Amino acid sequence: MVWLGKRGRRTAGLRSAASAALALALAACGTGGSGDGNSGDREAKYRRVIEDPHPRPADVIEAAGAPADVARASDGSLLLAYEADNVEDDEGPAATAWRVVGPDGHTVAERAEHADAEDAPPAFKGVREGFVRVPPGEGAEGAYVLDVRGKPHKAVITETPSRTRPGDVLLTELEPTLIYRPATRTVAPPAGVPDSAIRFAVDERGTVWSLDQPLTDDPNRVVRQRDGHTLGSRAVPKPYTGGILAARGGTAALSLIRGEHVRGLLLTTDDGEHWRTVLAGGIPWKDLKRDPESLVLESLADGRLLVGEEGGRYWLADDRANNAFHELKTPATFTSLTVDGTTLYGIADATTATYDLVKGEGLWISRDGGREWHRHEQHG
């Protein structure tokens, strides 16, 4: 999955130095902290939370209002990550928290930390046995695993490139590119990818899809590899350059950029044997006004594509042929929308830190392609 944080930024990790974060994570995951229990207006409570050196998870979650990130493990457990930032300035105190919710909706574990508003919020990716933490900066240091009970485990970090296998997960795309292997809890760079690759996706078969941007006038190319070997490539049609990649369920897609805007897709639905461009299909590409980095492009487990803009409109393919798309009706304005399997997770939140909540704030879930949505509720 591509995980999108509050205010439309790509999340990168917990808000502390990697070594300190790992030490804290491997400590007891108690709820701890202060909290005077007194009632008061939301602003006063919010300020107390971000200034508290040992905030309680429940207080951070209440102050944040909506998660900044959501990840799902194979058993259906969810990890929800929250942040409460300094409202008046991009600097100053902040607080982060994560909560693991079991398949039955009950809280299994949670933790909160005092933080700095300049740092990125926590980010995790769902894996077979739980959740792997995305490293907070350049390199792999700081990656670790939380199981579905919220218990932390060390990850094996190596600089030796690894040939990808089925089940491997793309942990970080660049600086550097890292793959996580659940079977061995290993974080490593993928083997054999082009030096000039600028985008990556890894599908469930372990195929690495990368966008190669040569330093010459040659066109961008989508390259697919498995087990360290190149299987084939496809040139990006002129006059377009490549943008974001997505791959799952036999489908791989690349956003096509012309000028400073996304204007279509280059896609395959048979694992790269045949490619075609989609410049219409029910998506009004000219209505996409934001920069190409704000595009949401994901493939569902059945090969259907989800396309949209952070904080804007979204379209879902009618079937895995991806010839026609329909616009999703959402119960609130989503600041982020992502996919796990065929389940859609939408987050409604403010685009900047605020004491107040927006209409419909929270996590919304759809298991039927966006026809019906239900708001995620905690059961204690």
State the pLDDT at residue 165: 94
Q: Does the pLDDT at position 159 exceed 70?
A: yes
**pLDDT tier for residue 18 given thresholds of 50, 70 and 90:** very low
Which residue, among 99, 102, 105, has the nearest Cα to 75 in the 3D structure? 102
130: phi then psi, degrees, rounded to nearest 5: 160, -120
Q: Which pLDDT value is given to residue 380?
A: 57
Say whether pLDDT at 191 is over 80. Answer: yes
* Among the ranges given (197-201, 215-219, 246-250, 354-358), the one the predictor scored with the smallest mean pLDDT: 215-219
Tell me how crowded residue 210 is: count the other CB atoms within 10 A of its CB: 26
CA distance 23 to 174: 25
Rounded-to-integer distance, Cα 232 and Cα 19, Å:
40
For residues 181-204, average pLDDT: 93
As a whole number of angstroms, the distance between CA 203 and CA 59 comes to 38
Lowest mean pLDDT among 8-22, 41-55, 341-355: 8-22
Dist. CA 36–CA 146, nearest whole Å? 30
Residues 248-264 have a mean pLDDT of 96
> Quick one: pLDDT at residue 158?
94
**Secondary structure element (H or E) that encloses residue 347, with its range:** strand 343-348
Give the side-chain half-sphere CA count within 13 A for 256. 19
State whether residue 54 is helix, strand or coil: coil
Q: Confidence class of residue 17 from pLDDT cuts 50, 70 and 90? A: very low
Give me the pLDDT at residue 20, please. 39
Bridging pattern class, strands 241-248 and 251-258: antiparallel
* Mean pLDDT (the chain, rounded): 88
Whether cis (ω within 30° of 0) applies to the bond prior to 239 is: yes
| In the predicted structure, residue 251 carries a pLDDT above the cut 60 | yes
pLDDT at 5 over 60: no
Count of CA atoms in the C-beta half-sphere (13 A) of 182: 19
Model confidence at 38: pLDDT above 70: no
In sequence order, which ranges of the chain are alpha helices (DSSP H)?
18-25, 42-51, 57-64
pLDDT surpasses 50 at 63: yes
The answer to which of 87-91, 135-139, 356-360 has the lowest mean pLDDT is 135-139
Percent of the chain with pLDDT over 90: 78
Q: In what order do the strands lie in the sheet with 93-101?
A: 69-72, 78-84, 93-101, 107-116
Comparison of pLDDT for 34 and 325, the residue scoring more: 325
| β-pairing verdict for 186-188 and 156-157 | parallel
In angstroms and rounded to an integer, the radius of gyration of the C-alpha atoms of the chain is 20
Furthest CA-CA distance within the chain: 65
Instruction: Please tell me whether the overall predicted TM-score, pTM, comes out greater than 0.95 for this model.
Output: no
Full DSSP string of 237-305? PTT-EEEEEEEETTEEEEEEEETTEEEEEEEESSTTSS-EEES-TT--GGG--S-GGGEEEEE-TTS-E
pLDDT in tens, 278-335: 999 999 999 998 999 999 999 999 999 999 998 899 999 999 999 999 999 999 999 9
Mean pLDDT value of segment 12-21: 36
Question: What is the model's pLDDT at position 379?
Answer: 64
**Cα–Cα distance between 128 and 73 in angstroms, integer?**
6
